[in-house]
């Protein structure tokens, strides 16, 4: 739609709303109120509560006691935290680029015409759509050291002579978590990128082809710039998902072997609900929140402004 048409359309609406006065505005506020109240109640209060909890020691045995920032100091200086932070960093650094590259490849593939394309597009969603614990269980069976499906298949095919301890070898366990995470996140990344690909006008490709650009040249000059905003969004989204990923680790490895796959969220959960140390758990949660905040701020910056809020003035 042209810009002038949009302006012409917006004008009568503005007049109409101006005529109807305060009553109209009150109705609007009333309509939005339930959502606003619910969201405010369930985000502002718990967040304040988390900050409050993080400044005290509470355990099932002792009465709560205010300790200032001690929880934060304890948590950050503990070697478990450092180890979990390193693991999280490593995991994020592997999965985010991997997902972006694979996402682009899959999107390019699904953008081609071939028999079975629709089935694949719809079926693609399944790994993303099944509950994450189901994902964890399925893949746990596949990777299981003792009688896992992968071992059984590889052994039957004569590829391996003895079963491989996928989940109890630190490096292999990490690799398993990466594979499962990619499996569950790839659909969304690919579908977002596919949508971006489809919004690139065909004539851009045609004129690039007329200029004698190769397939790779066209990808570089037309496709990549066309999907760049979505690339940034997908990268940051997957970054956030990698940092906050919990369910897969919980179901697949329980953070093990040892602490090889213990990432910050799993560590937080185990501090809070296994060690029942809510104060430390909250302090950890807030540290993670602040860490993710950086990624979030980048995410907002990357989004086109009008995608979030229509200019209300």
Q: Which of residues 107-126 bind another protein (CB under 8 A)?
A: 109, 112-114, 116-117, 120-126
Q: Segment contacting another protein (CB under 8 A): 41-49, 73-81, 167-175, 217-225?
A: 41-49
Interaction between residue 83 and another protein (CB under 8 A): no
Q: Restricting to residues 272-291, name those near another protein by CB under 8 A.
A: 272-273, 278, 281-282, 284-286, 288-289
Q: Which of 5, 7, 35, 159: binder of another protein (CB under 8 A)?
A: 35
Interaction between residue 302 and another protein (CB under 8 A): no
Interaction between residue 32 and another protein (CB under 8 A): yes
Q: Segment contacting another protein (CB under 8 A): 68-76, 86-94, 216-224, 242-250?
A: 242-250
Distance CA 81, CA 96 (A): 22
The partner residues of 170 in beta bridges, in order of sequence, read: none
Tokens at 232, concatenated? 């940034």
Least distance in angstroms from the C-beta of 113 to another protein: 7
Question: Is the CB of residue 253 less than 8 Å from the CB of residue 177?
Answer: yes
Least distance in angstroms from the C-beta of 304 to another protein: 10
Least distance in angstroms from the C-beta of 99 to another protein: 13
Q: Segment contacting another protein (CB under 8 A): 65-73, 75-83, 85-93, 266-274?
A: 266-274
Interaction between residue 133 and another protein (CB under 8 A): yes
Tokens at 220, concatenated? 């570089």
Tokens at 221, concatenated? 């000059």
Interaction between residue 238 and another protein (CB under 8 A): no
Least distance in angstroms from the C-beta of 82 to another protein: 18
Least distance in angstroms from the C-beta of 83 to another protein: 18
How would DSSP label each residue in the chain? --HHHHHHHHHHHHHHHHHS-HHHHHHHHHHHHHHHHHHHHHHHHHHHHHHHHHTEE--SSSPPEE-TTHHHHHHHHSHHHHHHHHHHHHHHHHHHHHHHHHHHHHHHHHTS--TTHHHHHHHHHHHHHS-HHHHHHHHHHHH-TTT-HHHHHHHHTTS-SS---TTTSHHHHHHHHHHHHHHHHHHHHHHHHHHHHHTS-HHHHHHHHHTT--HHHHIIIIIHHHHHHHHHHHHHHHHHHHHH--HHHHHHTTT-STTTT--HHHHHHIIIIIS--HHHHHHHHHHHHHHHHHHHHHHHHHS-HHHH-----
Interaction between residue 207 and another protein (CB under 8 A): no
Q: Segment contacting another protein (CB under 8 A): 68-76, 77-85, 170-178, 268-276?
A: 268-276
Question: Is the CB of residue 259 less than 8 Å from the CB of residue 80?
Answer: yes
Interaction between residue 251 and another protein (CB under 8 A): yes
3-class DSSP state of 214: coil
Least distance in angstroms from the C-beta of 34 to another protein: 5
Q: Segment contacting another protein (CB under 8 A): 48-56, 75-83, 87-95, 217-225?
A: 48-56
Least distance in angstroms from the C-beta of 111 to another protein: 10
Least distance in angstroms from the C-beta of 250 to another protein: 7
How many residues touch another protein under the rule CB under 8 A: the total is 105
Judged by CB, which is closer to another protein: 196, or 231?
A: 196
Q: Restricting to residues 2-21, name those near another protein by CB under 8 A.
A: 9, 12-13, 16-17, 20
The residues near 284 (Cβ < 8 Å, ≥ 6 apart) are 75, 81, 264, 267, 268, 271, 272
Q: Which of 8, 141, 220, 228: binder of another protein (CB under 8 A)?
A: 141
């Amino acid at each position: 739609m042209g810009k002038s048409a949009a302006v012409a359309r917006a004008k009568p609406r503005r007049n109409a709303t101006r005529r109807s006065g305060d009553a109209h505005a009150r109705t609007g506020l009333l309509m939005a109120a339930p959502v606003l109240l619910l969201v405010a109640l369930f985000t502002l209060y718990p967040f304040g509560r988390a900050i409050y909890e993080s400044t005290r020691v509470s355990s099932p045995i002792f009465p709560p006691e205010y300790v200032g920032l001690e929880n934060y100091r304890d948590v950050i200086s503990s070697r478990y935290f450092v180890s979990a932070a390193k693991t999280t960093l490593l995991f994020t650094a592997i999965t985010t680029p991997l997902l972006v590259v694979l996402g682009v490849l899959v999107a390019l593939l699904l953008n081609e015409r071939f028999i079975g394309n629709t089935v694949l597009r719809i079926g693609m969603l399944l790994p993303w759509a099944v509950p994450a614990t189901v994902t964890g269980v399925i893949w746990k069976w596949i990777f299981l050291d003792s009688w896992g499906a992968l071992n059984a298949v590889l052994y039957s095919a004569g590829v391996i002579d003895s079963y491989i301890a996928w989940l109890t070898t630190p490096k292999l366990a990490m690799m398993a978590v990466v594979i499962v995470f990619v499996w569950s996140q790839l659909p969304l990344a690919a579908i977002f990128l596919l949508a971006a690909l489809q919004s690139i006008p065909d004539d851009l490709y045609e004129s690039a082809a007329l200029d004698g650009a190769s397939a790779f040249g066209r990808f570089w000059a037309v496709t990549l710039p066309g999907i760049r905003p979505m690339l940034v969004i997908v990268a940051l989204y997957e970054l956030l998902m990698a940092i906050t990923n919990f369910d897969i680790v919980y179901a697949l490895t329980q953070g093990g072997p040892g602490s090889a796959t213990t990432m910050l969220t799993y560590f937080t959960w185990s501090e809070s609900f296994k060690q029942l140390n809510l104060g430390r758990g909250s302090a950890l949660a807030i540290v993670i929140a602040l860490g993710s905040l950086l990624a979030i701020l980048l995410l907002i910056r990357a989004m086109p402004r009008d995608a979030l809020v229509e200019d209300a003035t």
